[in-house]
Amino acid sequence: MGTGQHILTNKTPSALFLVVTVDDGGEGAVRDAISGLAGLVTTVSSRAPESTLSAIVGIGSDAWDRLFTGPRPAELHPFVELAGAVHTAPSTPGDILLHIKSDRADLAFELGRLWTGALGDAVTTVDETHGFRYFDLRDLIGFVDGTENPTGADAVAAILVDEADDPDFAGGSYVAVQRYVTEFAEWNALPVPDQEDAIGRSKLENIEMDDATKPANSHTALTNLPDVDGRPQEIVRDNMPYGAVSDDGDKGTYFIAYSRTPEITEVMLRNMFIGDPEGTHDRLLDFTTAVTGVQFFAPTAEFLADPPPLPDTPPAEPADAPRSDGSLGIGSLR
Strand ranges in the chain using DSSP code E only, listed in sequence order: 14-22, 53-59, 82-83, 88-89, 96-102, 123-132, 173-182, 236-237, 240-243, 251-259, 288-290, 294-298
39, with CB counted inside 10 A (0-12, 13-18, 19+), is: exposed
- Determine which one of 139, 145, 166, 197 is catalytic: 145
- Residue 145 annotated in active site: yes
Q: Which amino acid is at 42?
A: T
Q: Are 44 and 107 in contact (CB under 8 A)?
A: yes
244, with CB counted inside 10 A (0-12, 13-18, 19+), is: exposed
For the chain, percent helix, then strand, then coil, each to nearest 5? Answer: 30, 25, 50
Q: Which residues of 112-141 are buried (b: 16+ CB within 10 A; e: fewer)?
A: bebbbeebeebbeeebebbbeebeebbbbb
DSSP 55: E
Contacts made by residues 215-219, CB under 8 angstroms, sequence distance 24+: 215/283, 216/280, 217/275, 217/280, 217/281, 217/282, 217/283, 218/282, 218/283, 219/272, 219/282, 219/283, 219/284
Residue positions annotated with a catalytic role: 145
